[in-house]
Amino acid sequence: MEKFKPIAAGGLVALIACLQCGVALADDADHEARQRYENAVKLYEDGAYDAALVELNRAAELRPSYKIYYNIGQVRFAMHDYAGAMDAYRQYLDKGADKIPSARREQLQKELTALTQRVAKVAVETDVAGADVFIDDALIGRTPLAAPAVVNSGIRRITVRHPDYLPQTRRLDIAGGVQDKVSFALTGGAATGSEPAPRSPKPNTDAPRSPGVSPAAAAAVAPASVTPTARPAENDTREHTATHHVPWLGWAATGAFVAGAAVTGVLALSANSSLANDRKDLSVSSNEVDSKATKVRTLAMVSDGLAVAAVIAGGVSLWLTFGSSSRDGEQPGAQKAATKRLRIGLGLGGVSVKAAF
């Protein structure tokens, strides 16, 4: 008995320690679940419904309670996921059972009745069992499905995948309160693992095709057989595209001359105005008047010279841009003879530029 007492005491101490550890873990789970729920409420009030849903699901995992499914249903409804809201409300009613007040139960039954007009039922069938069924990229089960899937009304994307066959996807437009059926034939697209057989010139209408594409349309887009054609002789006439080489340097010089002519012209006008005022002022000496007159004439001559240079540079650049087109791929000897002349005349009346192409 004396040897048994220490062992029993040690076992009791270990049992108490385990119980205390379990209580601590339970307290931690309760604390985290409560914190997750409070975070979900704040996120819901801020309109972050997807984040609120994640927090509620985590809280339900930590501390399962029928009450949290009602909150999940409200978040799903706010996200316009009416099928998910119906599922959460039904779990709330099933798990809560008699704990739910009759008034709340009747109210929720009315909401479920209203939601039936916003959802639809889709029965998905395949000719091969064991195909995974996805609706809008969410896995809902594996064929054969036990019951039609409840989905939100609207445009839904249905995909079936089987490891031995090619996946198929269809888009379904379904209204609320309607029950529809979608059938997939996977046998025609079996992947045998062997090398693909040579393609026939005729389209294979038994192969899987995109939804809504008729056999005639599939034949229209199928690759037709290619008949070898004779290679054209090297001296055949080819179509060429005229190209224009833009003399950027010439156009830049033209712009510089125009800017210089404008600046010197403005300065000449300003100096001429000042000269006119000085001529009326008797206090200004004749030497100063002559000096300003010389300055005005110099500015005017510089402005005229820059203007002439701008006209010449612009004409040359224009001729080089549109008159020096060549045909790509042509030999110099095959080009048509063309006369290109540029004539620039200077006179008292101005500058004349004539170009012939």
0.75 cut: is pTM over it? no
Q: In angstroms, rounded to a whole number, what is the distance separating the alpha carbons of residues 60 and 186?
A: 39
Q: Please state which architecture CATH assigns to domain 4-115.
A: Alpha Horseshoe (1.25)
Q: For residue 188, what pLDDT is reported?
A: 61
Task: Tell me the mean pLDDT in the region 331-353.
Answer: 49
Q: What are the distances in angstroms from CA 128 to CA 131, 144, 170, 207, 209? A: 7, 9, 17, 16, 17
Q: In angstroms, rounded to a whole number, what is the distance separating the alpha carbons of residues 77 and 94?
A: 19
Identify the burial level of 119 via C-beta atoms within 10 angstroms of its C-beta, where 0-12 means exposed, 13-18 middle and 19 or more buried: buried
In the chain, helix, strand, coil percent, each to 5? Answer: 50, 20, 30
CATH topology agreement for domains 4-115 and 117-191? no
Query: What pLDDT digit, counting tens, does each position of 225-275 carry?
Result: 333 344 444 444 444 444 556 677 777 888 888 888 788 888 878 878 887
pLDDT greater than 70 at residue 11: no
Q: Do you find a cis peptide bond into 196, omega within 30 degrees of 0?
A: no
pLDDT greater than 70 at residue 108: yes
Q: In angstroms, rounded to a whole number, what is the distance separating the alpha carbons of residues 264 and 266?
A: 5
Query: What pLDDT digit, counting tens, does each position of 155-211 carry?
Result: 999 999 999 999 999 999 999 999 999 999 987 655 444 443 343 344 443 433 333
Q: For residue 341, what pLDDT is reported?
A: 55
Assigned CATH topology for domain 117-191:
Immunoglobulin-like (2.60.40)
Query: What pLDDT digit, counting tens, does each position of 138-152 carry?
Result: 999 999 999 999 999
Query: What pLDDT digit, counting tens, does each position of 264-314 carry?
Result: 888 878 878 887 777 766 666 777 778 878 887 888 888 888 888 888 887
312-323 b/e (C-beta count within 10 Å ≥ 16 → b): bbbbbbbbbbeb
Query: What pLDDT digit, counting tens, does each position of 29-68 carry?
Result: 888 999 999 999 999 999 999 999 999 999 999 998 899 9
Q: In angstroms, rounded to a whole number, what is the distance separating the alpha carbons of residues 128 and 187?
A: 7
Identify the burial level of 334 via C-beta atoms within 10 angstroms of its C-beta, where 0-12 means exposed, 13-18 middle and 19 or more buried: exposed
Single out the residue of 66, 67, 58, 63 nearest to residue 39, CA to CA: 58
Give the residue extent of every domain in the chain. 4-115, 117-191, 243-328+339-356
Q: For residue 197, what pLDDT is reported?
A: 38
